[in-house]
Amino acid sequence: MSISYQSTRGGESGLTASQAILKGLADDGGLFMPDRIPSLDVSIEELAGMSYQETAYQVMKLFLTDFTEEELRYCIDHAYDSKFDTEEIAPLVKADGAYYLELFHGNTIAFKDMALSILPYLMTTSARKNHIENEIVILTATSGDTGKAAMAGFADVPGTRIIVFYPKGGVSRIQELQMVTQKGDNTAVVAIHGNFDDAQTGVKQIFGDKAFGERLAAKGFQLSSANSINIGRLVPQVVYYVYAYAKLVENGEIQNGDVINITVPTGNFGNILAAYLAKQMGLPVKTLICASNDNKVLYDFFQTGTYDRKREFILTSSPSMDILISSNLERLIYLSAGCDAGVNREMMEELSKNGAYQITGEMKAFMKDFTGGYATEAENAAEIKKVYEDTGYVIDTHTGVASAVYRAYKERTGDQTPTVIASTASPYKFSHSVLEAIQGSLGDRDEFAVVDELNRVSGVTVPNAVEEIRHAEIRHNRECGRDNMEDTVAEILGL
């Protein structure tokens, strides 16, 4: 059965998957959601014997119903290939009483590769399907990982340009170097003087500026997004949770039908929302553990039912989670309101106007599958050190947050359910913070001296993604104020 897409704020409905992917954000500022969440139509026994690519097809075909089998398999096969450094694509590592789902084996060593490796293929296929002749301008805000992964995916893809905004001083040095050394004649990177929420808000405002859209169209451009607001980002993320469960069954770690918990380090809420969608498709998931860092807006939300972004923005060692406006939570709000776009729209307007909103008791009950936790900077560092000393396994600062939150959850509840922890980045992406957690103060050591020491300590090969920026040329040095983002886009595109 075909699935159509509508805005969470009610302004658009009846779009095909390819149309929703091309638009990214709805005209009314809402996010696209399917008119129903499909059920898995192959058994776990069948999935257990499948490759990652085959699993991806079985999941994604259910959401992207206007793609032909040939089109979808083409996208999948070109996305999940030798650019990943392991044939499994997303291996599971058993350590310290949990299963770490390693989502960082793509070419930018972060989980964003799992979706952004395929999005350019979905986007260009969608453009052909809809006879789009305009050049597609991918406009994206990043808290560190999305930007590089999106640029790597779209670099020199015909018919596309990509412009990435990131918070100056708000990402790790490795993350920044990955972005500012990015090759590709169609790529642009801009450091904004503000935080990630400023970048994300600015991008949304550009999408919502109808006059600017008309200026772009007159010059043969149209905007789309590679952020997790794009349904073409969210659907591929569902795949790896289904794959992880099937592998646990195949490896004899659980029996088919056994429930698992899933712990996700969460900032923009897309990654854990994908796990929730997998559960709604029929995956036996008991509890979704939403792990926050010191920017614990989501933890407070699940505790109280009030979402309140009016608080200090804290820069942490897990910068991809330094977010106070979790865009994808809107999709859960929409579902919890019985897909009532009016209710959702009012809450989003309240957030925009007053910085907070309160959900009803019924909506809070709808979210009973979720629980929240948070880890401080000290708890995160202690967890990285403990896991390393106890097992020899090295985790990054985002996975450290998730691992610490899971440990506290297990101690608090006594829940012994087998648990998958989403391991969202290579420790080399945050090498300074990871090595400091293990060894103590590093002084003013050069970033790459730290990388080499982490290699010695961990025994894990330094990824190509890090080696290639060791001596790479800085190609992007543009900066702008948070109120000048639209002018900067106009300048880059020569409007």
Taking only the tens place, the pLDDT of each residue in 4-39 is 999 999 999 999 999 999 999 899 999 999 999 999
* SS3 label, residue 243: helix
The pTM (predicted TM-score) of the whole model is 0.92
% the chain with pLDDT above 90: 85
pLDDT confidence of residue 1 = 82
Residues with pLDDT less than 70, the chain: none
Question: Taking the CB of residue 421, how many other CB atoms lie within 10 A of it?
Answer: 27
Q: How is 347-386 classified by DSSP, letter by letter?
A: HHHHHHHHSEEE--HHHHHHTTTEEEEE--HHHHHHHHHH
CA angle 5, 9, 13 (to 5 degrees): 30
Q: Are 255 and 249 in contact (CB under 8 A)?
A: yes
pLDDT confidence of residue 246 = 98
pLDDT confidence of residue 375 = 98
pLDDT confidence of residue 455 = 95
Burial of 4 (0-12, 13-18, 19+ CB in 10 A): middle
pLDDT confidence of residue 144 = 77
pLDDT confidence of residue 291 = 98
pLDDT confidence of residue 43 = 96
pLDDT confidence of residue 441 = 84
